[in-house]
Amino acid sequence: MPCYRCGARQTDPVRGASPWQRGVRKETQVLICPDCQRLHDLDLDSCSTCGSAALICRLGEVECRSCGAVRMARSDALTASSVAPPPGLSAEVEAALNRVLGRA
């Protein structure tokens, strides 16, 4: 993933932690290269609890790495993935069972 601001490509750090900063901007995980980190208009989302910009976005949630606060991402693209069974199915199944068993 390139730097969201200047498009620079991340190079693998020789050792130790990457100097690239991770953040969340408009509900999207972004990377900021070391050069752009010196700028003060990064326009990153910040934690509503502690104000830190050290956020990670995953699975529709935004988690603060400073205080641990978790909130739902606002993105509408992330709709609920849980699929409820269609209503009335159990009644249909029950009716079919009753027919098979001659209880109708």
The Cβ of residue 3 has, within 10 Å, a number of other Cβ atoms equal to 19
49 makes contact with Zn ion (CB under 5 A): yes
The yes or no reply on residue 33 touching Zn ion (CB under 5 A) is: yes
Regarding 53 and contact with Zn ion (CB under 5 A), the answer is: no
- 86 phi/psi in degrees, rounded to 5: -60, 140
Give the separation between CA 36 and CA 74, rounded to whole angstroms.
Answer: 26
Instruction: Tell me the C-alpha to C-alpha distance, in Å, between residue 49 and each of 29, 41, 43, 58, 65.
Output: 19, 21, 17, 18, 11
Rule CB under 5 A: say whether 6 interacts with Zn ion. yes
Stretch that binds Zn ion, among 17-25, 38-46, 67-75, 81-89 (CB under 5 A): 67-75
**Interacting stretch for Zn ion, rule CB under 5 A, among 16-24, 38-46, 63-71, 80-88?**
63-71
Contacts with Zn ion, residue ranges (CB under 5 A): 3, 5-6, 8, 33, 36, 47, 49-50, 52, 64, 66-67, 69
